[in-house]
Structure 1
């Protein structure tokens, strides 16, 4: 675990021991929190699993639902959350559950829990991934590095061979390659991950089909009355890297495809990756112009009355796979803590 996450864990421990989250919730003007989730898997991650940050275990998800209700928070849909934010007087505080990317494990492991607890949720769908033709590149580079003892890394026209025998070496290689790809224009990143996967016999299309629901499965998921389907672009590109016309097309086409599949056009949107490098004022304005009622980032923070006037840049709190301790749930549910953290790190 990185120094950053060790520091966050120490902060969470201190907050839990102090019992401050309950007091902060009572005194704060934060009205609610939107939780970000991705994968729900019963297995413990391997020692080298940099993407374990994106997965929680079913038992933890179930405890989160039970605990937030125990401390007096409602679990509501996004539409209900927007209505509560727009209300002149703060009512009961709330939590919104959101899942990004349409992973198949959501159908297998999350949906039964959500149904059992009658917990509404939103699923944000990148349509090319459901078609089975997208790249879950962050998982692909983990998988490739995980099974290799050395990899070739190309940058600036030069190729270096990097040892990946140990977990430490694998993590260093992953971090280097991940951030190389994050800094690239999307077309170059797609070309690099495709060539990298080809060099090591890794089938990106099969990976996508294995990990993401197909349209038949997604139709079962979307048919659940508790579910709200949201748009998440076509190709899961970082929109801030794209020309404005392409960014707008990625957003609009994803909504149109979901309309064609389900007969209802989504009114909520999630920016892929969602941080400052991936979405900013230009993208927030595009979401507004395209008619979405809301759009969520991955910037940390709670929801306040002011967000009713800026619903296209909503913050979220990640249910981080590195922090699956029951005693941290009270911290996760306290939006004001993450608003303060966002100001310190932003």
Structure 2
């Protein structure tokens, strides 16, 4: 576990032991929290699984739903969340459940739990992923590094051979390559990724078809009363790294494709990756100009009435796969504490 996540875990332990989550729920002006989820899988991840942060177990999702309700929070839609932010008197606290990327395991493992608890949720769909031609590059580089004793990749126009025999070496290689790709402009990132995956015979389209729901499977969600379908661009590009016109087209086309498939126009949007490198004031303005009712980031924090003026820059709290301890849910569900932690980590 990285130094960052070790520090977060220590903070969660201290906060839970102190009793501050309960006090914060009583005194904070935060009215609710939006949770971010990606994958829901029953099996434990392999020892080298840097993307395990994106997956939670079904039993943990089940516990989260039961626990937040036991804490007095309602699980509501994004539209209901906005209504509660606008209420003159403080309403009951709320939690919003959101899932990014349309992983197939959401169908097999998450949907039955959500139906059992009658818990509404939002599913953000990147349309190229559902077409079977998306690039889940973060998983691709993990898969390649996992099965190699060494990898070669190009950085600063030089080819470097990096050992990946041990878990520590694999984690170091993944971190280096991940952040190298994150910092590249999108056209360069695509070129480096294409070279890297081709070198090791990795089929990106097959990976996408294996991991992501088809449009036919997604129709089950589009027809599910508990589900709100949201837009998540076409290609899952980091919008801040492409031109304004290209970013606008990524957003518009994703809405148009979903409308063509399901006959509905998404009113809610999720920025791919969602951190400061991926979206900012320009993207928030675009989402507002294009008429999205909300757009969510991955910047941690609770929701307050002031967010009525920032509906296309909403914070979310990640249900991170490294923190699947029941006691941490009390901390994660506290909008005031997550806002404080977000400011400290930012």
Q: Is it true that 1:39 corresponds to 2:31 in the alignment?
A: no
Q: Is it true that 1:240 corresponds to 2:240 in the alignment?
A: yes
Which stretches in structure 1 are left out of the alignment for 5+ residues?
Answer: none
Q: Is it true that 1:97 corresponds to 2:97 in the alignment?
A: yes
The aligned residue for residue 174 of structure 2 is 174
- SS of 2:62's equivalent? helix
**Inter-partner Cα distance in structure 1 for 2:223 and 2:40:** 20
**Inter-partner Cα distance in structure 2 for 1:159 and 1:242:** 26
> Residue 153 of structure 1: CA displacement?
1.5
The aligned residue for residue 201 of structure 1 is 201
> Residue 344 of structure 1: CA displacement?
1.7
The aligned residue for residue 61 of structure 2 is 61
The aligned residue for residue 302 of structure 2 is 302
> Residue 20 of structure 1: CA displacement?
1.4
- SS of 1:272's equivalent? coil
Q: Is it true that 1:4 corresponds to 2:4 in the alignment?
A: yes
Q: Give 1:218-237 correspondences, 5 Å limit.
A: 218-237=218-237
> Residue 307 of structure 1: CA displacement?
0.5
The aligned residue for residue 123 of structure 2 is 123
**Inter-partner Cα distance in structure 2 for 1:91 and 1:138:** 40
| Number of corresponding residues | 346
Which stretches in structure 2 are left out of the alignment for 5+ residues?
Answer: none
- SS of 1:198's equivalent? helix
Q: CA RMSD in A?
A: 0.6
The aligned residue for residue 249 of structure 2 is 249
1:40-61 residue CA offsets vs partner (Å, 9 max, x unmatched):
0000001100000000000000
> Residue 345 of structure 1: CA displacement?
2.4
> Residue 309 of structure 1: CA displacement?
1.5
Q: Give 1:1-346 correspondences, 5 Å limit.
A: 1-346=1-346
| TM-score, L = length of structure 1 | 0.99
- Could you tell which deviates more after superposition, 81-90 or 248-257? 81-90
**Inter-partner Cα distance in structure 1 for 2:207 and 2:224:** 26
- SS of 2:129's equivalent? helix
> Residue 226 of structure 1: CA displacement?
0.1
Moved over 2 A (4+): none
**Inter-partner Cα distance in structure 1 for 2:216 and 2:286:** 30
- SS of 1:229's equivalent? strand
**Inter-partner Cα distance in structure 2 for 1:127 and 1:87:** 35
| TM-score, L = length of structure 2 | 0.99
**Inter-partner Cα distance in structure 2 for 1:191 and 1:49:** 24
- SS of 2:341's equivalent? helix
> Residue 191 of structure 1: CA displacement?
1.3
- SS of 2:102's equivalent? coil
**Inter-partner Cα distance in structure 2 for 1:4 and 1:319:** 16
